[in-house]
Amino acid sequence: MPDSKLYFKNILLNETRLGFIKILKKNGADISTSTEKIVHGEKVGNLTINYSTIKPFKINKEKIPSMIDEIPLLAILATKAKGISIVRGAKELRYKECDRIKAICQNLKRMNAKVKELEDGFIVEGPSDLEPRKIHTFNDHRIAMAFTVLNKSLNGTYNLDNTNCIKISYPNFIKDMNSLMQ
């Protein structure tokens, strides 16, 4: 959201899990880390995210492992980038809690995004003039959380067919989202 700034404390900064942050920074996101320290052998620090526009991105098979859980959120962000964003080499997403490629594409299409489903990923043309819709989570926590962020940014509501699936990985997600949106 324009003029927004988020600050997160004590975030895991493990290099093997930073693919999402790296691709966003490479494509124009204003993200910085500070106060890095080692906790239980892992690098931890604070993360500051300032509102910025991002450019479209291309993600290939080599980059997927470092951002596999964030691909649904990247799909959401692709709807905001001006141009064509491509995710390839992510076929393993079809074998998670649900077929995440299918879930991403179906939900984005229902919201009027320009998206094309591929065997191993998807293509999103942005920016899209999205409309809030009821989200089909397919009982998948990652799909539920990503589309909750999108719906919340569009009209401030959570419209999911199942919020209980979020509890598997982040029981306080809705509460924390509400605190961020104030």
User: At residue 114, does pLDDT exceed 80?
Assistant: yes
Q: Is the pLDDT of residue 153 over 90?
A: no
Q: What's the pLDDT band for 85 if we cut at 50, 70, 90?
A: very high
Query: Which of 3, 69, 120, 140 is the catalytic position?
Result: 69
143: domain range?
56-180
pLDDT in tens, 17-70: 889 999 999 999 999 998 889 999 999 999 999 999 999 999 999 999 999 999
Check residue 156 and give its pLDDT.
66
Residues 23 and 69 in one domain: no
- Are both 161 and 97 inside the same structural domain? yes
Of 90 and 163, the structure prediction assigns the larger pLDDT to 90
Indicate if 65 and 41 belong to the same structural domain: no
Based on the fold, state whether residues 92 and 132 are members of the same structural domain. Answer: yes
100, 145 contact by CB (below 8 A)? no
Structure tokens at 39: 């906790």
Q: Sheet containing 121-126: which strands, arranged edge to edge?
A: 58-59, 83-87, 121-126, 114-118
Are residues 80 and 127 in contact, defined by beta-carbon separation less than 8 angstroms? yes
Longest CA–CA span in the chain (Å) reads 45
69 is catalytic: yes
Looking at the fold, whether 80 and 162 belong to one and the same domain comes out as: yes
Out of 27, 54, 81, pick the residue that ends a domain. Answer: 54
Tally the domains of the chain.
2
Which CATH number fits the domain that encloses residue 173? Answer: 3.65.10.10
Residue at token pair 């998807």: 122
Q: CA 118, CA 105: separation in Å to the nearest integer?
A: 9
User: What pLDDT, in 10s, does the model give residues 126-146?
Assistant: 999 998 888 999 999 999 999
Supply the pLDDT for residue 15: 85
Distance CA 23, CA 19 (A): 6
Q: Specify the pLDDT at position 146.
A: 94
Query: Within 10 Å of residue 36's Cβ, how many Cβ atoms?
Result: 11
Same domain for 118 and 36: no
Phi, psi (degrees; rounded to nearest 5) at 127: -80, 155
What percent of the chain has a predicted confidence (pLDDT) above 90? 76
Which pTM does this prediction carry? Answer: 0.90
